[in-house]
Structure 1
Amino acid sequence: MDAVDRGVYFDEDFHVRILDVDKYNASKSLQDNTNVFINNIQNMQGLVDKYVSAIDQQVERLEAEKLKAIGLRNRVAALSEERKRKQKEQERMLAEKQEELERLQMEEQSLIKVKGEQELMIQKLSDSSSGAAYV
Structure 2
Amino acid sequence: MEELKKFGLFIDDIYRLRVQDPSIATQKIELRHECLEYSRNLQHFKSLIHDFYKISKTFAKDVEVEKLRAIGTQNQLKTMSQHRQAEQQVCQSKIMEQTVKLERLKREYQYLQRTETEQQEIINIFLLNQ
TM (norm. structure 1) is: 0.70
Amino acid paired to 2:88: Q
Aligned to 1:85: 83
* Selected match of 1:22 from 19, 22, 42: 19
Question: Distance in 2 between the 1:110 and 1:101 partners?
Answer: 14
> What is the RMSD of the two structures over their aligned residues, measured on CA atoms?
2.7
The aligned runs of 1:28-67 (5 Å cut-off) are 33-67=31-65
The CA deviation at 1:62 is 3.1
Gap change, CA 1:129 and 1:12, over 3 Å in 2: closer
Unmatched segments (≥5 aa) in structure 1? 1-9
| 3-state SS, counterpart of residue 13 of structure 1 | coil
Aligned to 1:13: 14
The CA deviation at 1:36 is 3.5
Q: Deviations along 1:58-111, whole A, 9 cap, x unmatched?
A: 333333223222211211111011110111111112112211221222122112
Question: Distance in 2 between the 1:42 and 1:116 partners?
Answer: 109
Question: Distance in 2 between the 1:12 and 1:114 partners?
Answer: 135
State, as a whole percentage, how many aligned pairs show the same letter. Answer: 8
The CA deviation at 1:33 is 4.3
Amino acid paired to 1:39: E
Unmatched segments (≥5 aa) in structure 2? 1-10
Question: Distance in 2 between the 1:122 and 1:53 partners?
Answer: 100
- Count of residue pairs the alignment pairs up: 119
